[in-house]
């Protein structure tokens, strides 16, 4: 239910500061909802109601705060938007039982996230991607105690079927080995078929199997092994959500991966999680935040960090620097990444894989940021040519990006030919990124629908149906 309050002066002041109309704010909130997998249809009338003091239903308050934060470049909280919704400063309390909610730990976060992903209810909808431009009070570990690391709402009560397994008496070698073995299972499923196929299954496994083990006592070596495996699986789960364009849950899983890696004392896994958070921020066009995260990932690199990981981090740092107008620095970073890659082990890890196709893709992104469309096309074509056949989802996404570059340069024939290659692989992957690419293709080619080349492509795309 909505509730009526006095006119919201703070809301009106924020809206005026953004320079947005009510319609523009409504569209911004709808776009943020799409990041979290929600289809919202707020309009100007909705904004007028909020300004008049009618409190919106969740998750609109969180989305409004995030929309204002992104527009104004500073942290805006729900309390700033809706003063009546200010949360108490005391420890959170379970609203059903009245008992205090313990401070979140990685195990609790995995349980909570698993329930939210499975239930797809209001709590799941509240997982909004948060962009916080403020510097962290802890420069070395910027995500410790981050408000988005675990949602402040109490977790919904699980059904008996969804209850996590009881923790064993002690952590055993067999239990830790079983968790480690699942890394290749889920990694192969994601790399081959896309995040949509196994995302919910991995979230459930983390919630119901890994989280109880994280609470079990055991020898330090076994615990470190479990923490490293948990960090890797959380990273994979984050990427699956990223691939399905569910950026709120993806961000939480990446941060959980970072916390587990820190608990394990594994700087390489920490750097990988921070690099992934930087990639996500860049994808969502939070370029300053992407640079901060890439720089922090680079700071976590040690002498023992594998050359392949160092190369990937340098490449992402180059992308983030190019996106923030640091062209010469980004070029130097790409050169450093290439040198590191020359010395890298050729074995592909389960997560964070980086090879010549990855580097070429980063060259393309940097070139695009620097306004060199021809070089961007050439580099992305090189990335596609080098991309191994064992990565069909990446090939599909790269084809779509290359076609869009061709189209932007006015090369319709080349764009349509590349889109046909995209359509060859599209039915085999379950990926919201691929779905979005298909929608983009249809939108871009509509104006050319009378051209025979575009017409054939449009007709072929119309025959495709998502599983």
Tokens (6 digits) for 36: 């979290």
Kindly state whether residue 138 falls inside one of the protein's structural domains: no
**Is the same domain home to 316 and 410?**
no
pLDDT at 84: 63
**Is the same domain home to 460 and 379?**
no
Kindly state whether residue 86 falls inside one of the protein's structural domains: no
**Is the same domain home to 122 and 260?**
yes
Kindly state whether residue 430 falls inside one of the protein's structural domains: yes
pLDDT at 131: 76
**Is the same domain home to 121 and 229?**
yes
Q: Domain residues for 233?
A: 104-127+171-265
Kindly state whether residue 432 falls inside one of the protein's structural domains: yes
Confidence of residue 62 (pLDDT cuts 50, 70, 90): confident
Q: Is the pLDDT of residue 129 over 50?
A: yes
**Is the same domain home to 121 and 222?**
yes
Domain edge (last residue) among 337, 367, 383: 383
Kindly state whether residue 142 falls inside one of the protein's structural domains: no
**Is the same domain home to 432 and 321?**
no
Kindly state whether residue 137 falls inside one of the protein's structural domains: no
| 359-368: long-range contacts, CB 8 A cutoff, minimum separation 24 | 359/311, 359/315, 359/334, 360/386, 361/398, 362/315, 362/316, 362/318, 362/319, 362/334, 362/337, 363/334, 364/401, 364/405, 365/319, 365/322, 366/318, 366/319, 366/322, 366/330, 366/331, 366/334, 368/405
pLDDT at 356: 96
Percentage of the chain modeled with pLDDT above 90: 65
Kindly state whether residue 153 falls inside one of the protein's structural domains: no
**What does the alpha-carbon distance between residue 370 and residue 376 come to, in Å, rounded to a whole number?**
9
Domain edge (last residue) among 265, 288, 323: 265
Domain edge (last residue) among 383, 402, 420: 383
**Is the same domain home to 281 and 377?**
yes
Query: What is the number of structural domains in the chain?
Result: 4
**Is the same domain home to 256 and 115?**
yes
Whether the CA torsion 423, 427, 429, 433 is positive or negative: it is positive
Q: Is the pLDDT of residue 419 over 50?
A: yes
Q: Is the pLDDT of residue 168 over 70?
A: no
> How do residues 336-392 score in pLDDT, each as one tens digit?
999 999 988 877 777 888 999 999 999 999 999 999 999 999 999 999 999 998 899
**Is the same domain home to 182 and 294?**
no
């Amino acid at each position: 239910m909505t509730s009526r309050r006095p006119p919201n002066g703070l809301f009106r002041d924020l809206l005026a500061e953004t320079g947005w109309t009510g319609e523009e704010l409504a569209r911004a909130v709808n776009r943020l909802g799409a990041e979290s997998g929600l289809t919202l249809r707020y309009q100007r009338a909705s904004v007028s109601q909020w300004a008049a003091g009618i409190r919106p239903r969740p998750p609109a308050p969180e989305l409004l705060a995030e929309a204002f934060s992104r527009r104004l470049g500073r942290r805006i909280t729900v309390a700033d938007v809706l003063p009546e919704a200010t949360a108490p400063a005391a420890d959170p309390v379970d609203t059903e039982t009245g008992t205090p909610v313990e401070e979140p730990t990685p195990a609790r976060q995995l349980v909570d996230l698993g329930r939210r992903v499975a239930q797809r209810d209001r709590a799941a909808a509240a997982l909004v991607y948060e962009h916080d431009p403020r510097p962290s009070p802890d420069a070395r570990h910027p995500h410790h105690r981050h408000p988005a690391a675990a949602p402040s709402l109490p977790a919904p009560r699980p059904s008996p079927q969804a209850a996590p397994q009881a923790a064993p008496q002690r952590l055993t070698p067999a239990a830790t080995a079983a968790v480690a073995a699942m890394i290749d299972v889920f990694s192969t499923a994601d790399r081959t078929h896309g995040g949509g196929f196994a995302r919910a299954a991995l979230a459930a496994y983390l919630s119901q199997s890994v989280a109880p083990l994280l609470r079990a006592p055991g020898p330090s070596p076994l615990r470190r092994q479990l923490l490293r495996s948990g960090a890797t699986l959380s990273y994979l789960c984050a990427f699956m959500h990223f691939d399905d364009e569910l950026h709120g849950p993806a961000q939480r899983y990446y941060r959980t991966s970072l916390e587990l890696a820190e608990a394990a004392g594994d700087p390489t896994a920490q750097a990988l999680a921070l690099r992934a958070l930087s990639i996500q921020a860049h994808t969502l066009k939070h370029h300053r935040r992407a640079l901060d995260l890439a720089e922090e990932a680079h700071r976590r690199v040690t002498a023992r960090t594998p050359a392949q990981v160092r190369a990937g981090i340098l490449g992402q740092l180059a992308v983030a620097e190019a996106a923030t107008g640091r062209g010469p620095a980004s070029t130097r970073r790409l050169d450093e990444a290439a040198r590191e890659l020359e010395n890298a082990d050729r074995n592909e890890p389960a997560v964070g894989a980086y090879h010549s196709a990855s580097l070429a893709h980063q060259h393309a992104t940097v070139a695009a940021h620097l306004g060199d469309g021809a070089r961007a096309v050439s580099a992305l074509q090189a990335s596609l040519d080098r991309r191994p056949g064992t990565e069909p989802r990446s090939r599909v996404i790269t084809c779509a990006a290359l076609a869009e570059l061709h189209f932007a340069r006015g090369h319709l024939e080349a764009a349509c030919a590349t889109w046909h290659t995209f359509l060859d692989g599209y039915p085999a992957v379950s990926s919201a990124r691929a779905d979005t690419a298909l929608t983009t293709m249809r939108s871009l080619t509509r104006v050319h629908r009378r051209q025979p080349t575009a017409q054939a492509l449009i007709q072929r795309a119309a025959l495709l149906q998502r599983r």
